[in-house]
Structure 1
Amino acid sequence: MDFDRKIYFGDYRCTNLKKLAAYIEELNETIEPLFDAHPLFKGEYALDYYEYLSRCELNSEPIEPKKVFEYIAPLYSNLPDWRNPGTMINVIPAVNLVSAATSSVTQMFNPNFAQDTYSGNLTLAELESVKYLSQIIGWDWEKSCGVFTFGGTGTNMYATKLALCNADAESGKYGAVKGRYFTLTSKNGHPTHYQICDWLGIGSDSCIEIECNPDGRINVSEVKRVIRENIEVGRTFLGYNMTGGSTNELIVDPIKEIYDLNDEIVKDYDLPYKPMIHVDSVLGWIFLFFRYYDFEKNPNDYPDDVLKRIKSMYDHVFEFKYADTLGVDFHKTGFCPYITSAFVVKDRSKFFNLNPSTSIDLKDMKYGDYNPFYTSLEYSRTGVGPMAALTCLKSLGTNSFCKLVGDLVLATHIFRKRLKDNPHVFMLSDGSEGFATLFLLVPPRYGKLTYSTVFSLTDGQTKEIKDYNTRYGKFVLRECIERKTNFLFTSSRSYTLPGTDIKIGAIKAYPFSIFLTEENAEVLAKEVGESIQRFTDQDGDQACTRDEYFVDMTTAGKK
């Protein structure tokens, strides 16, 4: 029995964009009742996955679109709304609607970015986006290249694979040698730095974690010692996976110092190759746009203390130009939909170590010559990332990126300042240049905590404070679900004070909505203060019983 195919696939004699728009509008009407301008869409967290799946049955006959939309609409319940100023549970941005529209249309035509002949001229979006990224980094765009891939894990995997090929050209053909290689990351580095070494077969232990200075940046003297120690026992040094903006404090490692040290190591050991420097800058890259900001004239009129923070971050990311490769997440700090990650390489000839025979000079490239599948991990590659990134870059421009980021820094500064005045709060991120606001809710019997008293806490006291903050995190979630408050953030039991091994835990508030203004930062801080008082009065006795609703991804999988 046949069915009307045009309902589901459109008509090949037209673009069908009007039909797509009509379906989006119909789905919107179905989902609309779940939305009420709150951090969370309506719904309940009491969901039993097994019970739900036990009721699911796949239909044998087609279902009309309206009925399908009615069926899937409940799946949008409990969804966080990243545009809402009160949604502060992770670094996930509001999506640029122009990018979202482009992404939807791109998906409908289903280009495969493995090569240009499968994608028409759409692959130019990747080349153009990489050019702009190279320029804001400070690289020569005619010599650089890049590829969009499956998230920050993908960018780190490309970096490590490239470093392996660079140090051992035959590894791709004959395989990695057990225990032979080593690479370095900082204690504040992302867990994927170890995981990709596991996935690439060189072993997670080959990724050596280096202690950080009290400011959270990698200890370069220790880097030097570890490199020398390992090279002198015969191990092959692949390179460095540096932090270009940590999730919590937005810490950036000293890239220029690492660059200088790398030259020293190559010279001292007469290495036939130069170990590669990768910067995992999926968060911090956004401050590269301040290359175009006039800090003297300060056209956005930021207060001196806020301008100083922005300038300090730009001075750190300015050193990215000394790196060999960079990871960029537009879906984190670039206001794009998932997944929009780019891996960018300073020297395109190094990138083609992945497949040397396919290298072609950019100046010689014509339509039919752009074949990323020769060097990319994926043979099937979506065009959504490059199209979303280019659309966002062109629609906003450099000045708007600076304005959005600067305003977030300003609003975060105000939010912290007001929160710090609360007698129950010990601010952990007061001097942080990051977006995240980290603080401890202090049990009343401890009085006012200071850093010196934190260092003198016993293990039992540290656990008591962690438990107290975990209860408050659950209390916040319950009140948000019940619509008693208009904000939502999370607690973490694993948070460790930078430069120490003290796992004190923390409340993590990521104020990352582009609609977070100075005014509603004040309002939110006041509402948080009222919430803290209610919790303190009842000591969290009626908090949720569920251990975790939002997993702390910043330390998951960390050794």
Structure 2
Amino acid sequence: MREKNERQKWKKILQEKVQPAFLAPWQEEHKEKEFKEIVRETLYNINSLKGDKEEQKCFLGESKYIIKDKNDILTVQEKAKMPEESTSIKEVMKEVASYFNGMFNWVHPKAMFNVTPPAAIPSVMGNLMGAMFNPNLVEEEYSGNIAALEVEVVGMISDLVGYDTSQSIGHFTFGGTGAYLFATKLALTKCLGKESRWEGIRKDPQILVSKVGHYAVKNCTDWTGLGMNNVRAIDIQEDSSMNLDHLEQVMERCYEEGKPIAMIVATMGTTDAFGIDDLKGIAEICDKFVKKHNLKNRPFIYADAVIGWAWSVFNSYDFKENDMEFSKDTLKAIEECREKIKYLYLADAIGIDFHKTGFTSYNSSMICLKDHNLLDLVTRDRNQMAYLYQFSAYTPGEYTLECSRGGNYALGAWCNLKYFGLEGYRAILGNLIESEKSLRKVIENESSMVCVNYKDHGLVTLFRVYPKSLKKILGSEQFAKEQYDKEFKDPSYKESLVKYNEYQFKVVNELQKILFEENGPALSFTSNFRVTSYKEPIAAIKAYPMSPYMICAEDELKEHIISYILKAADRVDC
């Protein structure tokens, strides 16, 4: 009798509490209504945390943070207990909404913290569909036609950057680092031969990247076992692009030392200053190097274009006609970037983040290869995976690092690419560049501020602010510009540079307080956006607008951004 009751209890719990938490396996109108109601209430809970338009608040809810220091982490972990009994879905969704208090609202024009975009609705819905039906892109059998959708995105991107779509191939991965890691593995195997997959790395292949290239190169050389000491940093030019003369010198040094060059990374849009390397020049140097030394393999060229890829939408733009009617300054900035981005097709592989300048939900990254035959280097034997690949024509799990790859990556990207098209992305980027130009003009008119990346043409504006007391000391109306110029060029100003690097951080620290106390802008800080002529790091405050609602009017920028920066500086001075 006891056994029978226990069976009845689990059946009751299953039917009344467990099954309602899942979508129905067939059409049931009442189940669909229940799901819509849960979605509606969840949206209400989260949207109620937004401020109104007059409030100008760029974060959700209240500035209540559960974790304020390291001790709080331990407290949270110790208190966390899984409930004994099931909770109602509505209660769970109401409770989880509270964790969004203090979260930046990335679609707000004052949220300029870093290269973090708001997710466009098409990508959100694509992610929702992926979450509902859970396709796994390990192979076609587990993902159905979502596999074809991933291939379509590869085709669209290949066509956009100039790859031959009959030869290219690609797949989505877990982020820009995932794309970088896959490229590193390909480069190492190409350099050392397939046997290295069994024997390991027994030489010291070198990876060359500019000094302002992403730190992912250190992660990838560490995690592959190559070792971070086998990364060689190449000097940069004034526009933050790789110095090609120094690249040639380092390549020759590698040859003299008997160390093969596995990979050269062309950074196509640095995070801080949006420096774009001369990919055409890098490819020419590689060809010259191979010919000179009669080498069997050319170094693998990886284009780290996770941010810059989006400028490819201007490859077919008629800059003379200027149908989008961009301003003269914006048009010039876009064209200068396009002149470098248009050579992406020369790279052996390209890393792309749709969750940056593609405006999709996190995370959505892709690596695209120029030649599908490269995959032969890393493809695994099917016998290792006996329970997979019995019926599928599309089997990326044979060569990807991941076995499980959610279809959400591809769904979000596909929906945005289809929705925005070339004109949509051109309008988004154009607006952000227009606002960047306006912001720099406002900064230029402030005697205590100086833009330190005025020659760069990305979305980011980097600047430094100085105490007004310097005006009397230097006896100049343009005291900020003069002070920074001396700090950048004159080694005797090293002490001042360090002092005012710390000053920038103090200003940003005050801005963080003003953000929550007075609904100020969300700006960030970089401790080393580049180095001085005497190799010292330069710190800067960073404004990285990514919202399609970003304003371009100079008077509004002054009111909503500059006034708060000056207030923060005054607080530091006091």
- TM-score, scaled to structure 2: 0.89
- Label 1:522 to 1:324 Cα distance change in 2 as closer, same or farther (>3 A): farther
Aligned equivalent of 1:11 = 24
**What are the residue-to-residue correspondences of 1:145-544 with 2, within 5 Å?**
145-355=169-379, 368-447=392-471, 448-449=479-480, 450=482, 451-454=484-487, 455-456=489-490, 458-482=493-517, 484-497=518-531, 501-519=535-553, 522-539=555-572
Shift of 1:366: 13
Quick check: 386-395 or 6-15, which moved more?
6-15
- Label 1:307 to 1:49 Cα distance change in 2 as closer, same or farther (>3 A): same
AA aligned to 1:237 is I
Shift of 1:485: 3.2
- Measured against aligned partners, the alpha-carbon deviations of 1:382-437 in whole angstroms (never above 9, x if no partner) come to 11111111110001111111111111111111111112211210111222211111
- Measured against aligned partners, the alpha-carbon deviations of 1:436-469 in whole angstroms (never above 9, x if no partner) come to 1111111223231335322336333222212222
CA distance in 1, matches of 2:503, 2:303: 36
Conserved? CA contact 1:116–1:368, under 8 Å: yes
Quick check: 7-16 or 63-72, which moved more?
7-16
- Label 1:264 to 1:152 Cα distance change in 2 as closer, same or farther (>3 A): same
- Label 1:390 to 1:172 Cα distance change in 2 as closer, same or farther (>3 A): farther
May I ask how many residue pairs the two structures share in their alignment?
A: 533
1:39 matches 2:52: no
Shift of 1:132: 0.7
Quick check: 10-19 or 521-530, which moved more?
10-19
AA aligned to 1:9 is F
Q: Secondary structure at the match of 1:253?
A: coil
Aligned equivalent of 2:38 = 23
CA distance in 1, matches of 2:549, 2:534: 35
Shift of 1:275: 1.6
- Label 1:366 to 1:317 Cα distance change in 2 as closer, same or farther (>3 A): farther
- Measured against aligned partners, the alpha-carbon deviations of 1:344-400 in whole angstroms (never above 9, x if no partner) come to 000111123212878xxxxxx998210010010111111111111111000111111
- Label 1:87 to 1:499 Cα distance change in 2 as closer, same or farther (>3 A): farther
CA distance in 2, matches of 1:511, 1:341: 21
- Measured against aligned partners, the alpha-carbon deviations of 1:495-521 in whole angstroms (never above 9, x if no partner) come to 4347662323111111111111323x6
1:64 matches 2:64: no
- Label 1:183 to 1:539 Cα distance change in 2 as closer, same or farther (>3 A): closer
AA aligned to 2:524 is T
Q: Secondary structure at the match of 2:537?
A: coil
- Label 1:42 to 1:517 Cα distance change in 2 as closer, same or farther (>3 A): same
Shift of 1:44: 2.7
Conserved? CA contact 2:272–2:526, under 8 Å: no
Q: Secondary structure at the match of 1:34?
A: coil
- TM-score, scaled to structure 1: 0.91
- Label 1:503 to 1:18 Cα distance change in 2 as closer, same or farther (>3 A): farther
Quick check: 149-158 or 525-534, which moved more?
525-534
Conserved? CA contact 1:212–1:499, under 8 Å: no
AA aligned to 2:38 is Y
CA distance in 2, matches of 1:118, 1:314: 39
AA aligned to 2:502 is D
CA distance in 1, matches of 2:267, 2:397: 28
CA distance in 1, matches of 2:528, 2:284: 34
- Measured against aligned partners, the alpha-carbon deviations of 1:178-197 in whole angstroms (never above 9, x if no partner) come to 45211111111000112101
- Label 1:538 to 1:92 Cα distance change in 2 as closer, same or farther (>3 A): closer
- Label 1:69 to 1:444 Cα distance change in 2 as closer, same or farther (>3 A): same
Shift of 1:318: 0.6
Give unpaired runs (5+ residues) of structure 1.
359-364, 542-559
CA distance in 2, matches of 1:458, 1:144: 51
Q: Secondary structure at the match of 2:145?
A: helix
Conserved? CA contact 1:427–1:438, under 8 Å: yes
Aligned equivalent of 2:4 = none
CA distance in 2, matches of 1:308, 1:144: 31
CA distance in 1, matches of 2:126, 2:565: 43
CA distance in 1, matches of 2:420, 2:534: 40
AA aligned to 1:294 is D
Q: Secondary structure at the match of 1:292?
A: coil
Aligned equivalent of 1:125 = 149
Residue identity over aligned pairs, in percent, reads 25
AA aligned to 1:190 is H
CA distance in 2, matches of 1:273, 1:532: 52
